[in-house]
Amino acid sequence: MTRYAALLGSINVGGNQLKMAELRAALANRGFANVATVIASGNVLFDHAPATDAELAARIAEVVKNDFGIESLVVVRTANELRAAIDDNPFVGENEDRFVHTHFVPGPLDRPAFEASFAAYDGPERVAVGDRAFFVDYRGGVGDSKLHQKMRPLGLRNTARNVGSLQRILDKMTG
């Protein structure tokens, strides 16, 4: 069995209310073992026989849709991949953890297209691209950011976690 983290997008925001105890029970009933949640925003830890991230994400998204009526992007990562999401973020340590985010995407990013779309961006945020993630230092805050409008044409489905949240998830996952 491998320990995984599932990061669900749009949970307990924008009207998509979901009790973590109910989510844990639903996943346990579908064969996911040792299910735990971290913070009430769709961070699920579980054990499962080795499978692809895409297979596990699809199964979890199906449970969330069928049992709770919520369409959610789900990305699945191992502990090593979460550690890399912190270590590879070039903005870690340069600002408060709550302003430095990793945006997880389901598959590899088209690096040239991504970088080209931000070449002329003159906002205060800093952006860097990774493999299946991109990193943002929101500098003064996420709420006032215009960066999300700039990302819309890319059509990137993503779910973000700040560095502090990622560290809490990783600590619980490996502790």
For residues 37 and 86, state if they share a domain: no
pLDDT of residue 63: 97
- Picking from 157, 160, 117, 154, the residue whose alpha carbon sits closest to that of residue 137 is 160
- Picking from 137, 65, 144, 54, the residue whose alpha carbon sits closest to that of residue 97 is 137
For residues 169 and 84, state if they share a domain: yes
pLDDT of residue 13: 72
Given 56, 78, 100, which residue is the final one in a domain? 78
The residues, any chain, with a CB within 8 Å of residue 38's CB and separated by 6 or more, are 45, 165, 168, 169, 172, 173
Which segments of 10-156 are extended strands (E)? 33-37, 43-48, 74-78, 100-104, 126-129, 133-137
The residues, any chain, with a CB within 8 Å of residue 62's CB and separated by 6 or more, are none
pLDDT of residue 150: 76
pLDDT of residue 14: 72
For residues 50 and 89, state if they share a domain: no
For residues 69 and 148, state if they share a domain: no
CATH number of the domain at 73, please.
3.30.70.1280
pLDDT of residue 30: 96
Given 34, 52, 78, which residue is the final one in a domain? 78
For residues 88 and 164, state if they share a domain: yes
20-34 per-position pLDDT tens digit: 999 999 999 999 999
117-154 per-position pLDDT tens digit: 877 778 899 999 998 999 999 997 888 888 877 777 77
Overall pTM surpassing 0.85 (yes/no): yes
Given 43, 59, 78, which residue is the final one in a domain? 78
pLDDT of residue 16: 79
For residues 16 and 57, state if they share a domain: yes
Q: Give the single-character DSSP code of 143.
A: T
For residues 11 and 74, state if they share a domain: yes
How many domains in the chain?
A: 2
Residues 117 and 37: their CA atoms lie apart, in Å, by 35
Q: In angstroms, what CA-CA distances link 52 with 4, 29, 49, 57, 59?
A: 11, 20, 10, 9, 11
For residues 106 and 138, state if they share a domain: yes
For residues 146 and 84, state if they share a domain: yes
Q: Which domain holds residue 9?
A: 2-78
